[in-house]
Structure 1
């Protein structure tokens, strides 16, 4: 709930994609991760974390992959470095270690080699869905979460399905609530047609269709560190994988040469990123676009990717960036999104039917639902 509450606040968190490697073979993997996928030196990520200070740091440091726990020493170090300056850490894992033992659900224990990393992070989140269950049994996932809950660790689940009417999601969410007595929050989202899923998802599954209206882009609020150390204001996997040429207005730097203060400053003050956060790319294209062929695209993200191709858009945005009225609009937009609360984000980027499940375990939030 705290993480989602901060989602619209620029530079209040940073994502670390610390490895693309993963021993699982989930058919919907958005990063197309494999055990021999590319991996960059740990020191690059560790050094960047050391540039956080008590006076200039993100509130949250989120680590994922691939499978982040393939680099447990790095996870522990980043978590420890973050805690030392007052930031809190979060890790998302596919629980690959629970797939090795068919009896893990009843006899398994979290491997000793991973314990320091898991103990170091402030929040532990696990992925679970139909495709993960082909690799890691549901009971094994429950076993891990129960072990951590009994030790007082904050845990959650990130679930995916094909839409609000997916019977798998209905059964799974109900079982999680029974199993853990509503102590484990769940963020439920539709399967994304990226990575390995883009070869079959749009052909075999009818995804829910939504009307995309001009709207602020909260996803551009937090810098995202890719597997290669490149930092962007966009976490869309097609951008991260290079399937879409990186739009220059979304590039924030590289952790090999830029520290947190530089990345934060660019995230906060890049005129195009500010404008996208405040009004959304479609509004910018409609208001400032020249209408030239090749400068238009269908879809919210697709429009953002081509904004820089139309010189009229960044030119107009730069000209307006320092106006007091523009700054006031940006500030008020952020305030309104924060006031709207975590459920707004869960509904916007997840499956609305299940949005309230993010409040589980938070009695103060649940009383307001």
Structure 2
């Protein structure tokens, strides 16, 4: 299971679900988008297992991404969830901050959890390195790689031209023999980073009224409290926690909704279909609603009942539905390249293909 498999699936609505196993984390990284700590909340394990228990071989996500906080603080739960997903034919990925790597060994419960998931991803950045040395992380990854584990690294810099990114990618490639893909991102103004990262200026692409499809609305996200939202933007997750989530982005709650209901709402809700095909700003423009930002158009402009109703009416026109289907087809055909062009970091996008073998896994 290679990173490119996951990125290509971004073009397929409901191909995956992101599940927050816990918001707790033993690290205190300055850029943490969730502002996690050991005092943060976490949902009851039984509720998470109940939701995964609604997956069936005939109706389940292809991928389940386990995240946090630090999901490996609950290694037994991770293992149980991964085993259930595998039983019904799905696959799992886990993203870890590698808190345990500083100790020089992998604790047995953590190792069992890592063994249970199909793909293991490690976060590497200057902020993590203040608490967990990169060399220690790479030693653990090298051990797992040599044992045949499918891996990837999520590398984060301050800006696309951050010298740290160049130095770190060279180190990762050398130590892991160019066999592990690297997804390079930059810090977003969310969580703790909101207190020190300057607000970005308006992006030219976001002011355009041409269609700019949104793949962030392709997969449902299970939030810290079990609320399920239709977007993986951290601002949307935060809005759910504050009770400010617009109706079109609220898909349900895993305490009483199963996968079938969540999937149907994600696929059939008109506004979400339109956002995936045209992007929220263009859709808001079609509805006659103005907005200064791409994501703001989704949360604010399309969150207004009047604008939402007008957008839904536009989306039901036969010609618009035909264009929607055509854009969705082109997005799927673009595969991982579509996602990397839109969200990858320029100059590093090709690193996502490291270790990929055509026609098979890494």
Give the TM-score range, shorter chain: over 0.9
**Pairwise CA distance, 1:304:** 0.8
Q: 1:91 to 1:45 in 2, by over 3 A?
A: same
**Pairwise CA distance, 1:257:** 0.9
SS at match of 1:181: coil
Are 1:8 and 1:219, in contact at CA under 8 Å, matched by a contact in 2?
no
SS at match of 2:347: helix
Residue deviations 1:118-171 (CA, integer Å, cap 9, x gap): 111000000000101001100111011111111111000001112221100001
Distance 2:57 2:181 in 1: 30
Distance 1:259 1:53 in 2: 11
**2:236 maps to what in 1?**
239
The 5 A counterparts of 1:247-286 are: 247-286=246-285
TM-score, reference length from structure 1: 0.91
Please say if 1:345 is aligned against 2:313. no
Q: Quick one: which of 41, 46, 49 aligns to 1:38?
A: 41
Q: Quick one: which of 81, 85, 89 aligns to 1:82?
A: 85
Q: Quick one: which of 171, 174, 180 aligns to 2:170?
A: 174
Are 1:343 and 1:358, in contact at CA under 8 Å, matched by a contact in 2?
no
Please say if 1:116 is aligned against 2:112. yes
In structure 2, stretches of 5+ residues that fail to align are: none
Are 2:20 and 2:223, in contact at CA under 8 Å, matched by a contact in 1?
yes
**Pairwise CA distance, 1:363:** 3.5
Are 1:162 and 1:207, in contact at CA under 8 Å, matched by a contact in 2?
no
**Pairwise CA distance, 1:324:** 4.3
Structure 1 residue ranges, 4+ long, deviating more than 4 angstroms after superposition: 206-210, 320-324
Are 2:34 and 2:234, in contact at CA under 8 Å, matched by a contact in 1?
yes
Residue deviations 1:333-356 (CA, integer Å, cap 9, x gap): 222112222133123112121011
SS at match of 1:178: helix
Distance 2:198 2:294 in 1: 18
Q: 1:284 to 1:356 in 2, by over 3 A?
A: same
Are 1:284 and 1:313, in contact at CA under 8 Å, matched by a contact in 2?
no
Tell me which moved more, 240-249 or 23-32.
240-249
Distance 2:286 2:212 in 1: 13
Q: Quick one: which of 187, 194, 200 aligns to 1:191?
A: 187
**1:361 maps to what in 2?**
355
**2:13 maps to what in 1?**
10
Are 2:67 and 2:94, in contact at CA under 8 Å, matched by a contact in 1?
yes
The 5 A counterparts of 1:189-228 are: 189-202=185-198, 211-212=205-206, 213=208, 214-228=211-225
Q: 1:20 to 1:195 in 2, by over 3 A?
A: same
**Pairwise CA distance, 1:316:** 2.5
Residue deviations 1:154-205 (CA, integer Å, cap 9, x gap): 00000111222110000111111111111010000110110000000117xx
Q: 1:265 to 1:184 in 2, by over 3 A?
A: same
Distance 2:132 2:321 in 1: 48
SS at match of 2:161: coil
Are 1:271 and 1:318, in contact at CA under 8 Å, matched by a contact in 2?
yes
SS at match of 2:296: helix
Are 1:248 and 1:308, in contact at CA under 8 Å, matched by a contact in 2?
no
**1:66 maps to what in 2?**
69
Distance 2:178 2:71 in 1: 27
Distance 2:156 2:341 in 1: 14
Residue deviations 1:282-318 (CA, integer Å, cap 9, x gap): 11111112x5xxxx43211111111344433322333
Are 2:287 and 2:314, in contact at CA under 8 Å, matched by a contact in 1?
no
**Pairwise CA distance, 1:208:** 10
Aligned residue pairs, count: 352
Distance 2:60 2:38 in 1: 32
**1:138 maps to what in 2?**
134
In structure 1, stretches of 5+ residues that fail to align are: none
Residue deviations 1:221-257 (CA, integer Å, cap 9, x gap): 1000001000011122122123682111111000011
